[in-house]
Each structure stands twice: as structure tokens, then as C-alpha cells.
Amino acid sequence: MSPRPARDVLRRDDPLRRAVALLEVDRRRVLLAVLAGTAGLGSAVGLAAVSAWLIARASQMPPVMYLTIAAVSVRALGISRGVLRYVERLVSHDVALRGMATLRVRLYERLAAGDAGALVALRRGDLLARVGADVDSVGDVVVRGLLPVGVAATLGVGSVVLVGAFLPEAGLALALCLLLAGVVAPWWSVRATREAETRSAQARADMAATTLTLLDGAGELAVAGRTGQMLGHLRRADRDLADASDRAARPAAVSAALLPLAIGLAVLAALVLGIPATTAGRLAPVELAVVVLTPLAAFEAVSMLPAAGVQLLRSRQAARRITELLDAAGGEPSPAGGPVPRGGRGQAAGAPGTPEVDERPAADGARDAGPARPGAAAGTLVARGLACGWPGRAPVLRDLDLTVGPGRSVAIVGPSGVGKTTLLLTLAGVLPPVAGEVRAGGDPVHALTRSAAARRVALTTEDAHVFDTTLLENLRVGRGDVTPEEAAATLDAVGLRAWLDALPDGLETVLGADATRVSGGERRRVLLARALLGPAPVLLLDEPTEHVDAGAARVMTGLLDGSLTGGRGVVVVTHRVTGLEAADEVILLDRTGSVRARGRHRDLLGVDPDGVEDSDVRAAYRSAWTAQEQES
């Protein structure tokens, strides 16, 4: 009695099949849920049949002892129906929730280890929709899609056999009516809803992306005068979603009307076939009541199939979006052991430190996690002839040579949009080089597994994420065994001692989603402390003192002279040329993405004219420095 879409799930090329496999559901639990659901609804059918027999038989006023077993059975079936339905809900929801958690973890692992170019074309809201609502929709297919199909098929066959045992013709009529309600109605609903669901998925993604843009960029949109434009886009997305929902509602109404029609036809057929059979003596009057009333309960299972068909369609659309993202990230995730890296990537932006060690062998030539090669300078990051850019786009930075080793600091300065963050992502192995190479400890960093790259290079970007948990747990993203004493000392070093002392629960204070409860400067220093607590020998820091007012110069100096970093190699990108006196080298980028000047800060300013021979270079750097000094 299952709808046609259920058979599509079995196709090997179906994205829903792939996504469901990643749920790693326990088949024994699924079977238990199907059995519990079938038994629960079977109790309802049995209750209807026994009650019909009891009422009809009681009307004949037999001795009470003839009714005792039936009366007890009615009570037992009534109780078991509720108990078994509860067990089915408990087991099925446990399966679904565990599967959602597993799929979400697999998705995060694949995106972290895969090709960052897969994400560049996605708006943040669309990405959030895929790892959020789409994963939930795939998980819902177990409870709202596959389970109802299995229960309906089992119970439908049982009901037909029960009625057919009394009157074969009535059993056949019931089977035809169940097919009408359990196959035709879902097929009609799914066929008419497919286009509407496709539009709904796109509309939901547009709404999520636009809403996040409005929330995250409220200030920038207000300054640019584009708030009204974005609100208009949000209203259009809302209208599209409403239109898609209306389109889906119409066929759903027709499908819903088929259910009572099928029930009415089944009861009418039972009467039309049962009365002549009773008159002819083939069917007892008491049995006629069973044949007529049992179908009323038998349709309870198939009543869920139209919604199950729509859920299968919705889950397939979500699974397609998830598998497209996984395929774009590269490689096929392994359901049993997590994703197999295909040329692993460096640590994700905003999560510096030591991730869990990946002991699985790397695929496609990716180097396994391990120490630097013998003969290579440990803790050294080297770039030669480097050109950086996002996949599918023109390079934003070209012809850069860079060497960062223990105790060496490099400051990279340039205007916004010149490619400084893209450079850091390339140095960390998150983005592959457009040209040239980057080596960490002697190995190409973009060919290392994520674990290996993260142990050699730690990256903190300007928009690194702060999690909705305690301050201490946020710092432990950098290193999982950070003690409260280490955390407090590092926060003191970056100028947050007074702030820490003022927190209501100290290190156990919850920062809120993406640090909504702290200021921009405090958030930036927390991210910096997280990077400093990590063990990587090379730190890549994106605007570490932006939004930091008091003590910003002291923090920048501590990063560049090694007093805060413990002598590790440091690359700092910033849009300001002031406060870089302690850097071993300053690289000035122009708006074309080329190196305009490089050298020590004092040499570029012209304090030591022999340090930089090109007077035009000194003039450009000094001009930028003078302009920013006047602004401050």
C-alpha cells in the first residue's frame, strides 16, 4: 500500500538514498519502530473488529460468559494501542534525531576537509539552510516518510486478510479502496506538489540568506541606503514561499478528499456485498458487523501516506542540495568513518589550534598528519611566486614571496578588498594557490590533511566564529586541554583582565550566539587569545587589533616582537601602517594586488635610507603612514 515515491528511494543514483545512508540509522531500531507502529495500529484495527463483534453479539442477549473474552480483549487492545504508539514514537524519533546529528557531523567534516571553492558561491544563509533545515528534512524522512509507508503496507495487508477471511469479496473491495487511498492519493499529491516544493526550497534559502544579511549587515546596509531594497527582496521571497505553499495546498486538499471517499466506498462495498451474503447464509449477522466496521480503522494507516509522499519529495529535494554541496566539496563521505579527505585543507577559519588527530589514511595523494619532513625547518612557512584568488575568479594578489620561521614576524598592509584575507586562507591551505606554492615544514600546505595543516599553521580570520557556549569552551577551540589558569593568563596578556573580572560567571560566562553579548573589541581579543593558546608554530592573524581601542598598540607590538606569541612565527594582515615598528618585515600591497613596498618599518619610512634604495617606495609608504597618523 506504499506510494510510488517510496520505490524511487531504492534507486542507486537517488540523492535521497545517499543522504539516508549517511544518517547511519540502526536498522534494528527501524525494524522495532515499524513493528511497534504496526502493532499499535493493528490494535486499533483489532479494537474495531472486536468491538463490532461484541456490540452485535450483545444485541442478541447471550449469557454474559459468552462476552467475557471479547470485553477483556477490547480493554487490552485499547490500552496496548496507546502504549505501542508511544513506543513507536519514542524509537522512531530517537532514530531520526541520532541520524540528523550524524549527518550534520559528516557534513561539517566534509566541508572542513574539502574544497573551500564549494562554499564561495553560496550565501551564508543558503549554507545555513543546507546544514540546518535540509539536514532536518532528510532526517524527517525516517519518521514521516519511510516508517508510515512500512506500517501502512504491513497493516493494509493484514486488514485485507482479516476481512477476506470473513468475506473474500469484501476483502478484495477493501484492497482496492486501500490502493485508492494509499497509492493514488499520494501519487496525485506528490505529482502536483513537486514543482511547488522545488520553489519552496529556493524561497526558503532566499529568505534565510536575506534575513542573515539584514541582521549581520544592518549597519552597513543603513549607511549604504540599501535596507529598503533588502526588505523588498525579503518580502518577495516571502511571497514566493506563500505562493508555493498555496500551490502545494490545492493538490493536498484533493488528496485529502480521496481518503474519506475511499472509506465511504469501502463501507458501502461491505454493505452491498455483505447483506446478500448474510441473507444467503454465507455470513453470520455478527460477522457482517465486523466486515462493515473494520475498514473504518484500517484506513488510519494509509491516511498518513499522502503526507509521507510529500515528505519523501521534500526530503529528496533537501538531499539533492546536500549531496550537491558534498560533491562540490570533493569526494564521497564515508558513512562508517567520516569523510575521506581529497587533498585535505588547512584548519577552518576561526578555529585555530589542534583538532582531533585524523588517523585514517589520506586519499588522492594527500599527506597524512605528521611532523615536518626531515631536513625542513620545523615551524617554517614559505611561499614562492604566490598568486591568490578564489576558485573560478581572477587572482587578487600576485607574485608574493614570503618566509616566516620561529621568532619572525611579518606585517602585510593594504587597503580593504586587496586580497589580504584571501592570502591568509591560501597560506593556511584553505584555498589552493592560483600559482606558485606554499610549504609548511617543507610540505605543500594545500596537499596536507586538515589535521596536519592545522598542527603547522593556525588561522584566525576577521569573522571567525564565537560559539554560543562559555568563554572557557570558546578558548578551548584553540586547544582542548586549556586550563582555567592558562585561559585567564592569556586573556590578561591581550588586555582582557578587567573585562574577565567583571563577567558574572568569569570563564564560565556564556558569550551568546556569535558573541552577541560582548563588544567588537572584546570579541576580537577573545579570538586572538584563542589563537595564542593553540600550539601551531605559525600564526596567521587577520586584523587582530581592529575595533580594539585601549591597548591596541601594545597588543600589536606584543604580537610582532614575540612577547605574546612565545617566539612563534607570525603573519599579521592589517589595513594600517602605524604601530608596525616591531615587525621584522612589512609588506605594503597596492590596490592591484601587487607588492608596492617591503622592508623594515623604519627603513620604509626613510629613517635608514640605505635600507630601502627606491625613493619612490619610501615615499609611497611614508605617505600612507602620514595619512593614517593624521587620521588617528
Name the pLDDT band for 326 (thresholds 50, 70, 90): confident
137 falls in which pLDDT band (50, 70, 90)?
Answer: confident
pLDDT tens sequence across 566-608: 888 999 988 777 778 888 898 888 877 788 878 888 887 765 5
pLDDT higher than threshold 90 for residue 172: yes
Instruction: Output the CA–CA distances (angstroms, integers) from residue 92 to 97, 142, 402, in the order listed.
Output: 9, 7, 56
If pLDDT is split at 50, 70 and 90, which confidence band does 122 have?
Answer: low
Lowest mean pLDDT among 82-91, 108-117, 515-524, 554-563: 108-117
pLDDT of res. 551: 66
Instruction: Say how far apart CA 209 and CA 519 lie, in whole Å.
Output: 24
Residue 70 or 341, more confident:
70
Task: For residue 488, give the amino acid letter.
Answer: A
Q: Count of residues for the chain?
A: 632
- How far, in Å, CA of 246 to CA of 252, rounded? 10
Whole-number average pLDDT of the chain = 78
Question: Is 486's pLDDT higher than 80?
Answer: yes
| φ/ψ (deg, to 5) at 534 | -75, 155
Q: Give the pLDDT of residue 360.
A: 33
Q: How confident is the model at residue 348 (pLDDT cuts 50, 70, 90)?
A: very low
Spatial contact of 622 and 604, defined as CB atoms under 8 Å apart: yes
Residue 264 and residue 152: Cα distance in Å, rounded? 19
Give, in order, the Cα–Cα distances in Å from 479 to each of 14, 356, 449, 483, 535: 40, 10, 18, 10, 7
pLDDT on residue 336: 40
pLDDT at 608: 53
pLDDT digits (tens, 9 = 90+) for 4-15: 443 444 455 678
Q: Where in the chain is the domain with CATH 3.40.50.300?
A: 406-422+461-631
Amino acid at 115: D
Whether domain 7-337 has CATH 1.20.1560.10 = yes
Is residue 122 helix, strand or coil?
A: coil
DSSP 68-129: HHHHHHHHHHHHHHHHHHHHHHHHHHHHHHHHHHHHHHHHHHHHHHS-THHHHTS-HHHHHH
- What dotted CATH number matches 406-422+461-631? 3.40.50.300
* Residues above pLDDT 90, as percent of the chain: 8
